[in-house]
Amino acid sequence: MFVATLVVGIAFAALLTVSAVGKLKHDPKQLKTLERVGAARLRPMLAFLELAGAVGLLVGLLWWPLGVAAGVGLVLYFAGAIGAHLRAGDRMILPPAVLLVVSLAAGALRLASAVS
């Protein structure tokens, strides 16, 4: 179980880091999406939250409560992203929905590997 937790945690942390760096470097594709959903002004905070989630997942591999908390925080982050898309009338919710599921999996795997 811990091997799956390790793979999902590291891969998801890497993805979150790439996304955060894109936001901080004003990636045109990300900026377009953020503008479309009305969240462009939140770009630095969103990048910070993604980096915090990535760090939480990685450190959570050593201390399971932090890994579970990071998973929960990321679920809330991506639920908020889905809400922002829907509020703006943007039906492109598949990417944040997939990431919400990955967030659930990361938190659940960390919890399950701690219990077993």
pTM, entire model: 0.96
3: three-class secondary structure by DSSP:
helix
Residue 78's CB: how many other CB atoms inside 10 A? 22
**Six-digit token string for 34:** 């953020």
Average pLDDT of the chain, as a whole number: 97
List the Cα angle 73/78/80 in 5-degree steps. Answer: 95
Residue 116 clears pLDDT 90, i.e. is over it: no
Tell me: the pLDDT tens digits for 58-83? 999 999 999 999 999 999 999 999 99
pLDDT for residue 2? 92
Average pLDDT over residues 17-36: 97
pLDDT for residue 114? 93
Q: What residue spans define the domains of the chain?
A: 2-115
pLDDT for residue 94? 97
